[in-house]
A and B are shown apart, each in its own frame.
Chain A
Amino acid sequence: MSDSITFISRAAPYGENNSKLCMDIALAAAVFEQKINYVFLDDGVYQLLSNQSPEAIASKPVGAALEAFDLYGIENVYVDKNSLSSRNLTQQELVIKAKVADSDLIAELIQNSKSVINL
């Protein structure tokens, strides 16, 4: 088993705080140089839409923060294929380059991780 941590982010960005929580835990783990996989599943893929302008609802743009992942050394970023297609989204519309992954690949990430944070 590898010593990586897999994060599964399943919440849309602004209606609840889970997307921010998940990201904060991952950034903190990254500061401690943990190997991280970050997976966007279900409504979590909405975090990746470009041109979010949440200033009017007094929130910080989640997509813009995700663009800083590479500075934290979080490079293994995946987005679930079915979650994209069932929401009529394509990879081109996303704010960061996430690898499109099918269920089998995500299942393997989970299997090969030390622990899994699912928010």
Chain B
Amino acid sequence: MIPVLLITLPIFSGLMAFFMKGQSVKSWALLSSFAVLGISIWSLFSDANLLSYSQAWLPSLGSRFDLTMQDGLSKLMCLLTALSFPLVLISTQQNSSNQSPHFFALMLLTQAGLMGVFLAADALLFYFFWELALIPVYFLCSIWGGEKRIAVTFKFFIYTFVGSILMLVGILSLYYMQDTPSFAWSSLTANASKGIYPNWAFWLFFLAFAIKMPIFPLHTWQPDAYEQSPTPVTMILSGVMVKMGLFAAIRWLLPLFPKATEQFAWVIVCCSVIGMIYASLLAIRQDDIKRLIAYSSIAHIGLMSAVIFSGNASGMGGVMIQMFHHGVNVIGLWIVANAIEQKLGTRSLSEMGGLAQKAPTLSILLVVMSLANVALPLTNAFVGEFLMFNSLFKYNVWLTAVAGISIILAAVYTLNMVQKVIYGEVNSLTEKATDTPFNVNFSLVLIAILIVVMGVYPQPLLDLTKDAVTQLFAQQ
């Protein structure tokens, strides 16, 4: 029952929002996102029988409307989706995009699509939601984005669309390889153990996920898309949507193609590590704060994808909690970046300086977010990153050594950003800067608390994802 609510509630409130007028829609969207958050928290404590739902959908095609959030990974991802929307909506109240009812309607529909991806237990349904999450985002970015929004969003759309229809071909070919064709996750994975799925099908799936993550040679859409999207959407894109790729790799790719994964892991791990270094180096050179965060995000995702394909059980646990933490942290960074942009009207680091004097609270919070981005001990990111490097180390020492450089580079670009933004002389532009309004501080403080608490006491999340990890490794 809970999975259905998680999807239908945002769809319903999103459709309603299309017909609303004026300011009431803001409260409506916020209310809906809080309700979803409530349900998502409820799912952590509820009975197992409430956590899945099955309904005949297309009997002639062998597809069912199957949703499940039995394991910790789905719960965690739904929680991230549910948590990020209120944070985003609260902290971007003043943005120019957040004034139209259509904006909120499309945002809520995006949430429904994301939830569907994390919940689907049927391959065709999964594909459905995978595409559906994209359509509202396409409109959001193209309507409210920056100057080059139309071309950039289109590139993003075509990229992901190509990936996803290749995945559709993959799904179809797997479907007919079974003795009794079915799209159900359980049936597909049960047949996978017989080793009947060929390697090229692995690549059809992988491409879709790799584009979404994105992994090194396929990442070119991402910095542009992050830069040009309206910031609330960027937050969702980098906080939640890229997790779709990582999640899908864990949920579908690994159980479906254990052999192919083993065989090709080195290619993917190498690409991921190259991507980490490459993106980190590019991040150092960025002047635009949004692009800097975008590249830093590629570097972080690179590590996660490397561990997904090479990792041991503890590493996989690290990836799962890191998916959550990276989502929270990066949204925190975006909120700061957005606040700065709103205040100063620029995103260029070279024009900033001296914010510590003019906006001390914001500066402190920026430092907290930045330290979490560097994965300093006592912040939440440290736990996941440690587990992941540990696991990568066991896979290949040399790759770990190269990947390790990215930790240093992360410190370089993040601290460089902090330095340029909050220290230095106050210039004419930052003269008028003041501290941020209550709603921004509220979200940031909430995130800061999460960062510290989860950094000191990570056990609850590790416990939550334990069953997903065990299940994954039991199958292989």
Bind each other: no
Interface residues of A (CB under 8 A from B): none
